[in-house]
Every structure is written in C-alpha cells, then in structure tokens.
Amino acid sequence: MSEWQGHIVADPKILVGKPVVKGTRLAVELIIDLLAQGWSEEQILKNYPGLTQEGIQACLSYARDTLKAEKVFLLNV
C-alpha cells in the first residue's frame, strides 16, 4: 500500500471527483501547485490549517505514483 492511500480520496460530490486530501476540500493539484510556486510546507500549513504535513507528503506521493503509471505514446506526424 502506497503511503498516500488513506490520505487522498476522490469523491464525485467533492470538487467534481478530483483527488483531495481526506477530510478537506483541498485538491492534490492545489497543494502541488503551491509547492511548485515555491511555497514552503510551513506556509501551506499556516494558510490551510485543516491540512497536515502528512497530507502534503501524501500529495507528493500521489503525484509520484500517478506519473510513474503514466504512459506516453509518440505520434509520427
């Protein structure tokens, strides 16, 4: 079991089924975007008090596993 399972959920009733941190309406996409913009974990936790360090780590692990599973097909155009 990956370390993100149990922390990341997808429910069609929450953000149209986007993966979110369990118990929040914070999308994995949002957390990854904040980190990509240079926000520190401390800044994210301060601005989103419902989030935990484990939730942030779960977002990163989810993104890693999703990218590992991605298949890329080159088209001869």
Task: Write down the number of H helices and E strands in the chain.
Answer: 3, 2
- The pLDDT value recorded for residue 2 is 67
pLDDT confidence tier of residue 22, bands split at 50, 70 and 90: very high
Quote the mean pLDDT of the chain: 94
Using alpha carbons only, what angle is made at residue 10 by residues 31 and 1, rounded to the nearest 5 degrees?
85
d(CA 65, CA 44): 22
What's this model's pTM, rounded to 2 decimal places?
0.87
| pLDDT beyond 70 at 17 | yes
Domain ranges (residues) in the chain: 8-69
The single-letter code of the amino acid at 63 is A
d(CA 63, CA 34): 14
42 contacts 32 by C-beta, under 8 angstroms: no
DSSP tag of 10: E
| pLDDT beyond 80 at 8 | yes
CATH number of 8-69: 1.10.10.10
